[in-house]
Each structure stands twice: as C-alpha cells, then as structure tokens.
C-alpha cells in the first residue's frame, strides 16, 4: 500500500451453544495491540457468511471510536447472511455454498498449504 499504514491482528472464537444457553456468541482470544481511536480501520476477512462474527467485531470496535470502519473479504456468501448493514465495502469473489481448501483455507487443519483453491469433498 502506498500510504502510511499499520497492520494488527485480532483472533475471535465462538462459544458452544451449551455454554451460552443455546445462543452462539463470539469472544476475543487476541485483541489489538494498538489503539484505533480516531484512526481509519479496514478489517480484512477471509470469508463472510452469516455476518454474525463480522457484526460482533464491528460493534466491538465501534465502541473504540475509530474515524471510520470498513471491511474487505476475499470471499462472500451474501445468500447466507442473517445480519444486514455490514460495512463490507470490498469483496473479491461471491462464491457458491461449497467448502474450499488450500491457499490458507483448511479442513480439520489439513490442506491449508495447497497453493491454490479446491472444493473439498465432504463425506
């Protein structure tokens, strides 16, 4: 990027349904190292499906008063969305309802190292 920028990482995990009385919720495993107040923030996602995780993340980060908050995703499945009004500004590809492996995407921690994407055959 030809502009001054900073890269930081967040890690989220979901609670199992039994732990939350039947509702799935996300929680932070790793938070940002830097403050975002007054800064322009662009979230980079791999896949946006239901939008629940991205919605949780956006609501959490909005409380920290960034100057702006937007998201980019390599893959999008808008037909699976249960949350509207996501700040998903940039999308690489809208993909079918199939499971992909390779290029960093895994199936049970396998196939992540493949140099390109493949549709996984789930049994």
- Active-site residue numbers? 49
Q: Is 42 left (phi over 0), alpha (psi -120 to 50) or beta?
A: beta
**Cα 99 from Cα 49, distance rounded (Å):** 12
**Cα 94 from Cα 61, distance rounded (Å):** 25
Helices then strands, each counted (H, E), the chain? 1, 7
Torsion of CA 99, 70, 43, 121, to 10 degrees: 0
- Backbone φ and ψ for 44, nearest 5 degrees, come out as -110, 120
């Amino acid at each position: 990027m030809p502009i001054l920028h900073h890269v930081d990482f967040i890690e989220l995990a979901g609670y199992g349904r039994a732990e939350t009385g039947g509702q799935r919720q996300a929680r932070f495993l790793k938070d940002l190292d830097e403050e975002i107040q007054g800064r322009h923030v662009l979230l980079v996602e791999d896949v946006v499906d239901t939008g629940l995780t991205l919605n949780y993340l956006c609501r959490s980060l909005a409380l920290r008063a960034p100057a702006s908050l937007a998201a980019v995703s390599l893959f999008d499945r808008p037909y699976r969305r249960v949350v509207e009004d996501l700040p998903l500004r940039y999308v690489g590809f809208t993909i079918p309802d199939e499971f992909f492996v390779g290029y960093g995407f895994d199936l049970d921690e396998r196939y992540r190292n493949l140099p390109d994407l493949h549709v996984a055959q789930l049994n």
